[in-house]
Structure formats: structure tokens, C-alpha cells
Amino acid sequence: MKTEVQIIEHDVLVIGAGGAGLRAAIEASATGARVGLVCKSLLGKAHTVMAEGGMAASLGNVDDRDNWRVHFADTMRGGQYLNNPLMAEFHAKEAPARVNELEAWGAVFDRTKDGRILQRNFGGHRYPRLAHVGDRTGLEMIRTLQDHGIHQGIDVHMECTVVEILKEGGRVCGAFAYDRERGRFRVFKAPAIVIATGGIGRAFKITSNSWEYTGDGQALAYRAGAELMDMEFVQFHPTGMVWPPSVRGILVTEGVRGEGGVLRNKDGRRFMFDDIPENYKSSTADNEEEGWSYTQGDKNSRRPPELLTRDHVARCIVREIKAGRGSPHGGVFLDISWIKERLKNAPEHIKKKLPSMYHQFKQLAGLDITTEPMEVGPTTHYVMGGVRVDPTTQMSRVAGLFAAGESAAGLHGANRLGGNSLSDLLVFGKRAGEYAAKYAKEQKALAVNESQVEELVRKTLEPFERSGTAGAENAFVVQAALQEMMQELVGIVRTDAEMRRAIEGLKVLRQRAKKVSVEGHREFNPGWHTALELENLLTVAEAVTICALERQESRGAHFRDDFPKKSDTWSTFNLGIERGGDGEMKLSRVPLPPMTDEHKKIIAEMA
Amino acid sequence: MAKATFRITRGGKDGLKPVDYTTEVGEGMVVLDAVHQIQAESAPDLAVRWNCKAGKCGSCSAEVNGMPKLMCMTRLTDLNLDEPVTIEPMRAFPVIRDLVTDVSWNFEVKKRIKKFKPRAPDAPDGTWRMSQVDVDRVQEFRKCIECFLCQDVCHVLRDHHKHDEFIGPRFFVYTAALEMHPLDVEDRLGDLRKTDGLGYCNITKCCTKVCPENITITDNAIIPLKERVVDRFFDPLRALISKVTG
Ligand SMILES: Cc1cc2nc3c(=O)[nH]c(=O)nc-3n(C[C@H](O)[C@H](O)[C@H](O)COP(=O)(O)OP(=O)(O)OC[C@H]3O[C@@H](n4cnc5c(N)ncnc54)[C@H](O)[C@@H]3O)c2cc1C
Ligand code: SF4
Ligand code: SF4
Ligand code: FES
């Protein structure tokens, strides 16, 4: 019997309604294109809503020495020069306009004394650069885009999951999806598709990421013939909650450290002073006094070592824990309450600056951060890698397939600076929307291959057919096994032997995934959704592992115990992943794009 | 480890019924953890919405022991575990399946509210100036995570089903955020009175009590809006002026 499939036509289909997807949809529809926007959750619930600290843009409102050149240099240095320099340039140049545009659409940022957008300090940024709203900047951003977007005639398809990209003659022609509510199938016909599906954090056990982060976009693009890049670079945020167990991994914003919070081990020592990397020595405070002045806006002070890049802070924390100097539940202490020694109204100040952190700890851990230190430890947070795209248009090597936001690679290189994601979403979301619409106008609609759709329907329903068969697996159990394994073998500190075990483990998990069965009906069935996402999770886990095994050095977020130093041999290319003719993953070395003379000059000046 | 029983509403349009699940409870667990555990152990098709697990996205709204709550922020230690804990979907909206309700009405309502319209920029570079004190109030409203718990508890929707004539507390907060935005020049008072049903609200403050973001919905949003409407439409002198000036 033929299953019914609903067919919907758009000029541009945007997959994902986080910051990147919304911004892309707004831009594309502003050009007159008919835009469809699909997302797995309800509108406004995407991951972007959780972002806390702020978005980086060199507005120069707090320190007028800031400008795009400094932001560019900071981004490149943070990414250990594996970034795409042109993307870093566009990002640094265009971020201020994108932030101001949000204000024009109704966003209400915190203000400076003279009434402009306030900016805060963050790790790796030379000047206070993050436009923010307390510690709920992502909410402000997503709501502003959402509320602006709903008046633009964008067709939003909520709670709808894309399972496969459809192609015809090497070009994109649509996407196959199902809706969660009824489990009915849909084909979105569109000559241009923007992937804006976010990250892959659910490949690991301890993560700040939600259930949505199963690497769908990366895997969809990979299967459609696009190249993935930089997948070894997974950012472990240094400060996630560690206690109680059920909240392990939930993010504690870097804003806590930006506001003066300090890291201590169980002996009360501020261990971050013990290990300041050479290339950051000149810009880092060497005493507590100077660090504090910096957080309070003293322009002549250098930053406290707590605000060094995330990869470094995370490893210092791991070192303390491994050396037995950790906190009772296997983390270290993060203390903001100490600022009462310096500020009269400290508790009020903390609640005003970090309201959701205050609530989060109060409600979930029964702890008052204005009087007690928190316990924190690293948590999987962000993937620098993703779909390889053209820096100007955001198109992948598949005609008509674009990517933006966390699902795309290039801007952040080996390590992303805090705050550079939200600005990334706006800058490259806009570009992707603009160029996707332009591309769509130049194309004629393509027919969708019916037998391919029927095959997809069959594959998608397969898990139901295995229900009750011998040796059937539970999707949640297989997913948890994958997460455990990746956390243990391909986590913050990596070695050759462990990653080889992971490669073997992934083969076994792939076999298990083939046997996953699903009970019940198609309506809003989480077991079924988890089963369908397994394939994607396995794909990105494999890509991460293969790249991490290949890169025999330590750089940015990628740390190898067996190759603990950065090496020049590895500084001239990124690692690419594509699907080979035999269906196996193929690894390649992608030479770094050249820097312009201006790029070189800026970097030499700022070093 | 201790065990506890959860009485969860199961089913969809074909009918709803409570089903008991017993599971182990550990330190620090919240209601959503228990639901997930039950999902993994014995009910993989149990439908529930969630995203952030940290009270930031407003997805996991439900009624726990009859109280509208975010499941991810409701700790088991705050509940009596000697009795079964009931977990039901929000009552003001139709059930799709189990704990998942159809909240699409809310998205439709929002579309009807006139969008933000800023005054001309204050500075030549196209930016504006606003002081922090002037945006404090609006920032309070903009904390809203759209969990719709206030909509769930409001009797005008919950008991009287005035969904066609009344936009509910969430959208009074939304409208207030626009009306009190220092840059906004749009006028929504006529709509508030005519199509939005502001008059139905009799200030019971139930919405304020359940708001997980602690937004003072009634005192800070609804009452000031009511005052503005009264000033505009029921102040005789003003009414005369507006008649004369059109
Ligand atoms: C707790 C936390 C705090 C953070 N704080 C900051 C910060 O302060 N500053 C900063 O710059 N960055 C921060 N980040 C990072 C930043 O929030 C994310 O990188 C960014 O929001 C990702 O945005 P996005 O638009 O790429 O994707 P998302 O916002 O994650 O949106 C992804 C969208 O894709 C949809 N989707 C996924 N798969 C499918 C599919 N198969 N079919 C259909 N739809 C699909 C999802 O439903 C969702 O709508 C933080 C991250 C976390 C977790
Ligand atoms: S105060 Fe008004 S809006 Fe709030 S619950 Fe009561 S009647 Fe509803
Ligand atoms: S106002 Fe409060 S209760 Fe109502 S939707 Fe917003 S956050 Fe939820
Ligand atoms: S899951 Fe986001 S508020 Fe509960």
C-alpha cells in the first residue's frame, strides 16, 4: 500500500529555527522568496534560546579601542589559525550591524551609562565585546527574530524532522520529513536548502546540549555529498554543573567569570595562575588584584587567567581533578560570592547580573551562589566543525545546499571564543538566506523522484516492523551506549589506543542500531524519533573519531595525551570528511585558504 | 534507593487515562528526570516535550499534583513521594498525546498583535539611546519563556474557553512589553479593548503565581494596560479631544 506523503513547495527551505535558521529565513523572505522553515521543536525553543553570556561585536561602546581588526585577530588566535580567514573577516566586520539590527527589531539589551548597548568581557576577547541581556541573551535573540519573522510570511513547520535531503542530477530538489504530532510524511520541494540544525553534543554523555543536538544537519549534508570539516574540534566548556547527578552537564555561563568569579581547587588555590600559556602571558594578569580590576572595567588591567580560552581552562580543571585536588563531587569550585569582599551590595549585584544562574543553582542544586561557591566541571558544548561552505555564500559543494550557524564549519577553527557563536548565527545566517534566495531564483524547480521517496518511507517505518523480533534493541539504550563510549574514549583528553577502540566500538553500535525496534504508534513517539536519529549520531561520532585520530598534535579544543604539543606540520590544513564511493568515510587534508596581506598585517600587529 | 510512583496521563484524542509507573528516585532528581527514566525503562512511546532541562525554553509545562509547573524545575524532594505523583498535560489546551498539548493557538494569537515599530533613530549611525532604568520594566516582560503556564491557569481560558475573545496573560505581557518599549510608537490600546479581551481579566493574579520567570504579570503588565485603556477610552475629556482631532 502506498503511504500518503504531503507535498509542500517553497523557493527556499530552511532546516532549523535557531538564530541561524531564523535569520536566514528572514533574509530570504525579504527578497520575495517563498520560504519554509522547519524545526524539530516548537518555534522559539531551539538551542539558541539557552545561550547566556552574549554576542560578540566590536561596537566599541564600552572601550572605543575596539574595532573589527581586533575582533578578527582575537578570533583567529582563539581558533589557532585554522579558521577560514575570510569568514573571520566577514564576521568581525558585519557583527556590529547585525546586532544593531536586532535592536531595530525590538531587542532590549542592557545599557551603558550613556544609553548605548552594554558590552561585557569574555574569554579570549581583548575588550569588553559581548552585547548581552543579563545571562539570557539567547532568549532575547531568538524571541526578537521569531517575533520579527512571524510578520514576514514565512511558512513555519514546527515539530517536523527532516530525515533526508533529496537530489536530482547533482542538485538539491527537496527534503523528506515527518511531523512529530502524527508521524505523517512530508516532502518539501525546494531548489535551495539552508541547513541550520546546530550541533552534535548528544554524541557525548556529559553535555550542555538538548535532545535536538544529534548532528542531523551534518549527517544530512554528508549523505547528500557535502564535505564535513574540522570535526575533531569539539568544544568542552570548562564550567558545567556537576551536582546533583541529574543536572550534570548543564551550563554555567562564562559570564560568571566575566563578572569576577574565580576558580579554586579544594585547597582554596586559584590554580589558573599556575599555568598561563606563553602566547597569552603578556595579556593576562599575574595577580588577583589586577584580575579583579579588569573585571570591573579597568582598561589598564589585564584579564584574570580564568578568562583564558575555554580549551585551556577546561584542561586545567581536568588536571586539578585528576591530581586529587577537586571538589567533593568531582569538579572544582567556582566562586562569585567572594566579591562581597569588594562590593557593598554584592548579593544584589550578582542576582542582577546573573539572574538565571542564581535561579538555576537555587532551584536545581539548592545552593545560593551569592553565599557559596559552585561546583563545576567540563561539559560538551559546541562543535567547531561542520559542513564545509563557501565563505561568501555559505553554499556547500552540493549545488543548492547551504549551511550556517553551528552546523557549518570555518569561522572558529580549532576553538570558538565565547560569544562568537551568536554573532556567527546572525552574520552567516543572513548571508546564507541572501544567497540561497538568489540561487533559487536562478533555478527551475526539479521533480522529486517518487521511488526514492517510497524507499525513504519504507526505511523510516522499518523500526516498527522489528517490534517483537528476537534480538531487538531499544533506541535509548543504544544511544546511551554511544554517549558513554564517546565520552570515555574521544573526550577532552584523547589517545591513539582509546580512539582505535572507539572506531571498533562504533562498528558494533552500528550493527546494534540496525536492530532497533519501536513499540506503539507514530504519534509523538520519542522512541521512534530516537531510533531515527541514531544514524546521524553515529555518523558524526565516526567523523569526530576519525579526524581526532588523524590529527597527531594538540591544538585548540583537540588535546592528545600522546601528542601534547602543537606542531607546525599540522598547521597548514584542515581535515575533511566525505562519503566515498563505497559508502565508507573518506578522510582528506584540505589546504588552509590563503590569508590576504591585510590579514597577515593585522595578525602581525596584534600578536 | 527509594522508589516512587508517578501517575501519568496517557492517551490522545481517543481518550485519556492515568497510568501508574514506579521507578527509582535519586538525589537531586526533578520530575522530568523521572519521566525520562520511565521512558527509557518501560514506556518508550511516552510523549513529552522538553529541550533545555534548565528552565530556559519553556517546553516542559505540565500539571504536577494539579499545579502548573515546568517539569525540569520541579524537584522530587519538594513533593510528597508517599503518594503517587500525578503528572497531567496542561488543561487549557487540547491534548495531542500523553503530556503533549496543542499550543498552536498561542502562536496564532501572537501574529495578530501589531508588531514593534520603532521611532526614528536617535543617532546619525542609525542607533538609539535608552537608559537602563527605562528598559528595566520591559526587560522583566521579555524574560518570558513562553511556557504558557499562565495561559493554562487563567480561568478565562481554562474554565470559560474564551480563546476567541481573550488573548490571555502571556499576550498581555507581550503587549505590555511592546507598549512600554521606550522606542515603540505603535498603538495597541484599541485592540486591547476590542479584540484582545483585556476586560475579561478580573485580576485574580493566578497567572502571576505560576509564572516560573517570576514576572509580575498582573501588577506590572495587566493593571497598567487597563489603566491606559481607561485613560484613553473612558476619560471624558480625552475622548472628546480624540473625537475632535480624529
Ligand atoms: C547553554 C548554552 C549557552 C550558550 N551560550 C552562548 C553565548 O553566550 N554566546 C554564544 O555566542 N554562544 C553560546 N552558546 C552556543 C550557541 O547558543 C549555539 O551554538 C547556537 O545557538 C546554535 O544556533 P543555531 O542557529 O546554529 O542552531 P540551534 O539554535 O540549535 O537551532 C537548531 C535548529 O535546528 C532544528 N533541527 C535540528 N535537526 C533538525 C532536523 N533533522 N529537522 C528539522 N529541524 C532540525 C532544531 O529543531 C532547531 O530549531 C551556548 C550554548 C549553550 C548550549
Ligand atoms: S489575573 Fe487576569 S489574566 Fe491573570 S489569571 Fe487572573 S483573570 Fe487570568
Ligand atoms: S509570562 Fe510567565 S507563565 Fe506566562 S508564558 Fe511567560 S514565562 Fe510562562
Ligand atoms: S525543558 Fe526547557 S523549561 Fe523545562
Quick: pLDDT tens for B87-100. 999 999 999 999 99
* All residues at 6 or more sequence positions from A431 whose CB lies less than 8 Å from its CB, including other chains: A27, A90, A392, A393, A394, A404
- What's the per-residue H, E or C state across A174-187? EEEEEECCCCCEEE
Residue A42 has its nearest CB partner, among B54, B59, B139, at B59
Q: Residue written as cell 516560573? A: B212
Percent of chain B with pLDDT over 70: 95
Q: CATH 1.10.1060.10: which residues of chain B?
A: 103-237
Whole-number pLDDT of residue A1 = 42
Residue A380 to chain B, least CA–CA distance (Å): 14
A502 and A464 assigned to the same domain: yes
B1 pLDDT tier (thresholds 50, 70, 90)? low
Domain ends where: A351, A379, A407? A379
Whole-number pLDDT of residue B236 = 64
| pLDDT tens figures, A465-516 | 998 888 899 999 999 999 999 999 999 999 999 999 999 999 999 999 999 9
What are residue A48's DSSP bridge partners? Answer: none
Q: Strands A228-229, A386-387: parallel, antiparallel or unpaired by DSSP? A: antiparallel
Domain ends where: A442, A463, A490? A442
| pLDDT tens figures, B91-148 | 999 999 999 999 999 999 999 999 999 999 999 999 999 999 999 999 999 999 999 9
Can you tell me the mean pLDDT for A183-203?
96
**Residue A81 is which amino acid?**
Y
Domain residues for the domain of A464 are: 453-581
Q: Exposed/middle/buried for A451, CB within 10 Å: 0-12, 13-18, 19+?
A: exposed
- When divided into structural domains, chain A yields a total of 3
Can you tell me the mean pLDDT for B195-221?
97
Whole-number pLDDT of residue B243 = 53
Chain B touched by A468 (CB under 8 Å): no
What are residue A361's DSSP bridge partners? Answer: none
Residue B3 to chain A, least CA–CA distance (Å): 16
Say if pTM beats, i.e. exceeds, 0.90: yes
| pLDDT tens figures, A73-127 | 999 999 999 999 999 999 999 999 999 999 999 999 999 999 999 999 888 899 9
Percent of chain A with pLDDT over 90: 86
* Phi-psi domain of A12 (left: phi exceeds 0; alpha: psi -120 through 50; beta: other): beta
A268 and A353 assigned to the same domain: yes
Can you tell me the mean pLDDT for A159-170?
96
Can you tell me the mean pLDDT for A428-456?
94
A162 and A210 assigned to the same domain: yes
User: What is the rounded CA–CA span in Å between residue B110 and residue B135?
Assistant: 22
Q: CATH 3.10.20.30: which residues of chain B?
A: 2-100
Here the cell at position B142 is 521579555
Q: CA quadruple A51, A56, A60, A64: dihedral positive or negative?
A: positive
Count Cα neighbours of A443 within 13 Å in the Cβ-side half-sphere: 26
User: What is the rounded CA–CA span in Å between residue A362 and residue B200?
Assistant: 36
A374 and A385 assigned to the same domain: no
Percent of chain A with pLDDT over 70: 100
A164 and A118 assigned to the same domain: yes
How many beta carbons lie within 10 A of that of residue A338, not counting itself? Answer: 14
Chain A residues whose beta carbon lies within 8 Å of the beta carbon of residue B115: 106, 147-148, 151
Whole-number pLDDT of residue A570 = 96
User: What is the rounded CA–CA span in Å between residue A133 and residue A108?
Assistant: 7
The pair phi, psi for residue A501, each rounded to 5°, is -65, -40
- The residue to mutate among B91, B149, B150, B156, having the most atoms of ligand 2 within 8 angstroms of its beta carbon, is B156
Closest chain A residue to B32 measured between Cα atoms? A246
User: What is the rounded CA–CA span in Å between residue A420 and residue A410?
Assistant: 12
A9 and A100 assigned to the same domain: yes
Here the cell at position A526 is 520519542
Helical spans, DSSP H, in A344-419: 346-353, 355-365
Chain B residues whose beta carbon lies within 8 Å of the beta carbon of residue A246: 26, 28-30, 33
- The residue to mutate among B93, B167, B170, having the most atoms of ligand 3 within 8 angstroms of its beta carbon, is B170
Q: How many residues does chain A have?
A: 607
B244 pLDDT tier (thresholds 50, 70, 90)? low
Q: Determine contact, residues A60/A99, Cβ cutoff 8 Å.
A: no
CATH number at residue A116: 3.50.50.60
B238 pLDDT tier (thresholds 50, 70, 90)? low
Per-residue pLDDT at A245 exceeds 50: yes
CATH number at residue A284: 3.90.700.10
Can you tell me the mean pLDDT for A417-421?
95
CA angle (A84 as vertex; A83, A85 as ends), nearest 5: 100
User: What is the rounded CA–CA span in Å between residue A150 and residue A226?
Assistant: 31
Q: Would you give the DSSP letter of residue A410?
A: S
Give the number of beta-carbon pairs within 8 Å between A and B: 171
The pair phi, psi for residue A150, each rounded to 5°, is -65, -15
DSSP A118-144: -EE--TT-SS--EE-STT-HHHHHHHH
Can you tell me the mean pLDDT for A315-334?
93
User: What is the rounded CA–CA span in Å between residue A6 and residue A573?
Assistant: 44
B246 pLDDT tier (thresholds 50, 70, 90)? very low
A230 and A373 assigned to the same domain: no
Can you tell me the mean pLDDT for A21-48?
97
Q: Determine contact, residues A231/A544, Cβ cutoff 8 Å.
A: yes
Q: Determine contact, residues A121/A53, Cβ cutoff 8 Å.
A: no
User: What is the rounded CA–CA span in Å between residue A148 and residue A152?
Assistant: 7
What are residue A382's DSSP bridge partners? Answer: A235
Is A106–B178 a contact, with Cβ atoms under 8 angstroms apart?
yes
Per-residue pLDDT at A533 exceeds 50: yes
Residue A590 lies in a domain: no
Catalytic residues of A: 237, 257
How many beta carbons lie within 10 A of that of residue B227, not counting itself? Answer: 10
- Quote the distance between the C-alpha of residue A565 and its chain's center: 25
Q: Classify B119 as helix, strand or coil.
A: coil
Residue A606 lies in a domain: no
Closest chain A residue to B107 measured between Cα atoms? A43
Q: Determine contact, residues B12/A523, Cβ cutoff 8 Å.
A: yes
Whole-number pLDDT of residue A406 = 98
Whole-number pLDDT of residue A456 = 96
Chain B touched by A153 (CB under 8 Å): no
Q: Determine contact, residues B149/B104, Cβ cutoff 8 Å.
A: no
Q: Strands A130-131, A55-56: parallel, antiparallel or unpaired by DSSP? A: antiparallel
User: What is the rounded CA–CA span in Å between residue A296 and residue A46?
Assistant: 33
Whole-number pLDDT of residue A322 = 87
A13 and A161 assigned to the same domain: yes
CA dihedral A466, A472, A473, A474 (to 10 degrees): 60
Architecture of domain B2-100: Roll (3.10)
User: Could you tell me if the CB of B146 is within 6 A of ligand 4?
Assistant: no
What are residue A473's DSSP bridge partners? Answer: A516
Given strand A228-229, what is the order of strands in its sheet? Answer: A386-387, A228-229, A573-579, A585-591
Residue A447 to chain B, least CA–CA distance (Å): 32
Can you tell me the mean pLDDT for A36-46?
97
Whole-number pLDDT of residue B95 = 96
Per-residue pLDDT at B241 exceeds 80: no
Here the cell at position B238 is 480625552
Whole-number pLDDT of residue B3 = 94
A250 pLDDT tier (thresholds 50, 70, 90)? very high
- Selected residues 329-368 of chain A with any CB under 8 Å from a CB in chain B: 356, 359-360, 363-366
Task: Calculate Rg over the CA atoms of chain A.
Answer: 23
Helix, strand, coil percentages (3-state) for chain B, rounded to 5, are 40, 15, 45
Q: Determine contact, residues B122/B129, Cβ cutoff 8 Å.
A: yes
How many beta carbons lie within 10 A of that of residue A417, not counting itself? Answer: 24
Q: Determine contact, residues A210/B55, Cβ cutoff 8 Å.
A: no
Query: Across chain B, what does the average pLDDT equal?
Result: 94
Whole-number pLDDT of residue B245 = 53
CA dihedral A73, A74, A78, A80 (to 10 degrees): 10
A345 and A412 assigned to the same domain: no
A112 and A254 assigned to the same domain: no
Q: Determine contact, residues A55/A132, Cβ cutoff 8 Å.
A: yes
A403 and A519 assigned to the same domain: no
- Report CA(A140)–ligand 2 centroid distance (Å): 25
Chain B residues whose beta carbon lies within 8 Å of the beta carbon of residue A156: 107
Query: Across chain A, what does the average pLDDT equal?
Result: 94
Q: Classify B6 as helix, strand or coil.
A: strand
Residue A103 lies in a domain: yes
Per-residue pLDDT at A71 exceeds 80: yes
* All residues at 6 or more sequence positions from A269 whose CB lies less than 8 Å from its CB, including other chains: A325
Architecture of domain B103-237: Orthogonal Bundle (1.10)
